Structure 1
């Protein structure tokens, strides 16, 4: 006998917000939580420097490779189903990371974690947007984005606290009970929905996944071996060619995985460019400032994380307010002002940075930058989804998540190159010499994001026409 869940329970939007926010927090946290635990992992597993790098990179590459394909599969077989499967896979991989006896097995488990994250991230946003009417979407995505932004920015702090208070295994174990609960709730409390009934385009999935891996891998390697190395050039060229082949294939496909007509919308294009620059500025600023507070100012990982709280904690408070504002006055002013404020805050920090500088001089610019990025975090995904028809939300979310991943890798590579050209890790003075121009470049990326936000439409975008969405709020438990 097939059990039919109660439609009223299934359709309660509060469950969708709760489950997708929990999932977003877990996935976003794991993007950076491992960074401060790397020294402990090295000592425990006797890992080489290359293996430590791959502990981070395996997650990033698998994540980037799977996002668009996972979104397309969700549209076809069920967004809730793929979302719950991704949560389960992420949870199992987290347990595998915690018990990994060697660095090689840890890297493999991190790659599986990345695949699970790729299934969760775009579909969490699509499920959330489908559960609320457009006039409330900015407010709700503001709450969701604030929780996720807090996770991204506080990853190094949480990793340092857990590693220092317990041990590095617990940065992965903590995901397991949360992931189990979230998976069960997703399976039984979320409404099922699907995109248009199209076939899965395997050639397109192969091309876009291969291109994403090549580009992100090339950007990662550029920070280690230089932009002019044969390896980096070959990876970037291969990635561009694969993405070009993917676009050419999609142009001729009867049922494209990524409808290219979406990029004909100025709002969709501008929101994605801004998202690329927003993610790049967040990740590269976190990368630089967490190290500056340790290497140049002498704080422990935990103490450094605590001193970054004026920047990292603001999304929880400001992002929901920004979501309400974007519902009332439109995305363009909120997003442009937010990126501008972050740029001002980062330039200020770069200007006052010095070896052994007092912490007091950083508080105000950290707050300004935190308020700025808190305004941008929820508005970018809402602007992307508002520019497309509901049936295209899964694909649009996948594009946005992929471009943000590209942006993070690109900005960190650029910041690392600028740092290496002006300073090094030898002394606090030499570190600061590289930190200041690198952070100034990151501020420039944020300023470019403010300019691109001005290209958004007015209060409400007109989405492209698409096929009707299939919603099954009372779907049977399979």
Structure 2
């Protein structure tokens, strides 16, 4: 039951991160707003998710995983209802931010629930199942959204969230929280610094095509945003209960895994968004057909994610984290053949299939490597850091689309964004190949035993830094 609840809770958050993509054209037809409005509808959700997920991870460690999940589901469901009845684009963007706040509580708490419930190879398989289904949610979103937009209306893209929210809350009635694992006060000031800092940077990137690089408003928000992020990092090294414990970065696999996460998930966020928008606005396909285009990614994840999670647990994550992004990058490189004489079957489908297979190879080993480097007592904040980096990377990637392509998407702009996506994936593979170290089962189990018994175990320190190399 804990695995089912964890998958359902995260599935909801990931589904909403992508389901809205196919509704953007219909929303613009009703509300207006142009490319910037479409970016804000996507990024308001990602901004709240990325900015608040560290705070949510700290809350999960203090009040319990199950309680955090319940709060997140209620907030997410309420915000989804507001989105569904929004009278204008401003209301919709505000409600999307609230949705992101609810989602921020769902993702780290669900992963922490898995990390604290399962151990050893069973944990790797559980994480494989979790990553498989959450990856399916992210890619299945455009398909589900396309059907809803074409046959019912775009507002149902948000209203449909209420059903899985109710189902998950019902299943959670059988779960109980253990005693909170981490004492101490929450760093509210740190949370405000990172939220305002990210907001300033994202505002500057999204509004650049409208304001221009010479705008004082653009540069002031960009500089202030960057300064606030620096202030946040400085503060995390000084407060007794930081949202981002900098000590975690001393674990090699945690640091290298999060660097890989930044590159790969920037590509994931940008790639799915640009494929969907290209098919909708340049090729002008119906929303349902545009959503079907990314179905091979979901199929690959369903079929192979658990397998690669198990293989990672057996042989170590490094090989899979290195080769997976390179295969995914080659998929996007294939999409450079797209032209005005467009043929989906030859110009896009082969690349999407390669991308989906490469992503499936990558995700479960990546998640397992990062969580395996974190003590169980800090699994909430550890998963929150990893997910914050993933969401912020996707947020920034979508935000930079405007400066790359200008105010309007065309074939040349699609090529530039496809090349950018391929480059990000390749960087992720290289970082993993250089930075990740494999860990043996016996060393991992010894480390976990030490965490449970509070007695030192020889070799456990090596696991914490990811430096045990069989």
SS in 1 for 2:237: helix
Q: CA deviation at 1:418?
A: 3.2
Deviations 1:86-122 (A, max 9, x none): 0111012212222333443333322221110111111
Give distance in 1, aligned partners of 2:415 and 2:140: 22
Q: Is residue 353 of structure 1 aligned with residue 338 of structure 2?
A: yes
Write the mapping of 1:459-470 to structure 2, written as runs, cut at 5 A. Answer: 459-460=439-440
SS in 1 for 2:330: helix
Give distance in 2, aligned partners of 1:260 and 1:64: 18
Quickly say closer, same or farther: Cα 1:115–1:252, change in 2 above 3 A: same
Give distance in 2, aligned partners of 1:232 and 1:382: 39
Whether contact under 8 Å (2:22, 2:291) holds in the other structure is no
Quickly say closer, same or farther: Cα 1:292–1:123, change in 2 above 3 A: same
Whether contact under 8 Å (2:53, 2:105) holds in the other structure is yes
Write the mapping of 1:177-256 to structure 2, written as runs, cut at 5 A. Answer: 177-192=163-178, 194-222=180-208, 225=211, 229-256=215-242
Q: Is residue 432 of structure 1 aligned with residue 411 of structure 2?
A: yes
Whether contact under 8 Å (1:143, 1:319) holds in the other structure is yes
Give the TM-score of the pair, scaled to structure 1.
0.86
Q: CA deviation at 1:226?
A: 5.3
Match of 2:432 in 1: 453
Whether contact under 8 Å (2:332, 2:422) holds in the other structure is yes
SS in 2 for 1:448: helix
Match of 2:460 in 1: none
Deviations 1:53-95 (A, max 9, x none): 5433332222222111111112112222112110111012212
- Number of residue pairs aligned between Structure 1 and Structure 2: 447
Match of 2:421 in 1: 442
Give distance in 2, aligned partners of 1:319 and 1:25: 15
Match of 1:150 in 2: 136
Deviations 1:313-343 (A, max 9, x none): 3212121111111111111111111101001
Q: Is residue 314 of structure 1 aligned with residue 300 of structure 2?
A: yes
Give distance in 2, aligned partners of 1:469 and 1:95: 42
Mean CA deviation greater in 433-442 or 218-227: 218-227
Give distance in 1, aligned partners of 2:32 and 2:343: 35
Match of 2:64 in 1: 78
**Alignment gaps of 5+ in structure 2:** 454-470
Match of 2:101 in 1: 115
Give distance in 2, aligned partners of 1:227 and 1:186: 50
Quickly say closer, same or farther: Cα 1:224–1:76, change in 2 above 3 A: farther
Match of 1:138 in 2: 124
Whether contact under 8 Å (2:8, 2:168) holds in the other structure is yes
Q: CA deviation at 1:34?
A: 1.8
Give the TM-score of the pair, scaled to structure 2.
0.87
Give distance in 2, aligned partners of 1:201 and 1:464: 29
Give distance in 2, aligned partners of 1:153 and 1:211: 29
Q: Is residue 281 of structure 1 aligned with residue 267 of structure 2?
A: yes
Give distance in 2, aligned partners of 1:71 and 1:187: 22
Q: Is residue 365 of structure 1 aligned with residue 344 of structure 2?
A: no
Match of 1:266 in 2: 252
Whether contact under 8 Å (1:296, 1:355) holds in the other structure is no
Whether contact under 8 Å (1:69, 1:209) holds in the other structure is no
SS in 1 for 2:128: helix
Deviations 1:282-341 (A, max 9, x none): 111112222333344442221122233223432121211111111111111111111010
Q: Is residue 129 of structure 1 aligned with residue 110 of structure 2?
A: no
**Alignment gaps of 5+ in structure 1:** 1-14, 426-430, 471-478
Q: Which of residues 5, 15, 23 in structure 2 aligns to 1:29?
A: 15
Give distance in 2, aligned partners of 1:405 and 1:443: 18
Whether contact under 8 Å (1:19, 1:182) holds in the other structure is yes
Quickly say closer, same or farther: Cα 1:125–1:225, change in 2 above 3 A: farther
Quickly say closer, same or farther: Cα 1:187–1:89, change in 2 above 3 A: farther
Give distance in 2, aligned partners of 1:322 and 1:367: 17
Q: Please, what is the CA RMSD of the aligned residues?
A: 2.7
Whether contact under 8 Å (1:62, 1:118) holds in the other structure is yes
Q: CA deviation at 1:261?
A: 0.9
Match of 2:324 in 1: 338
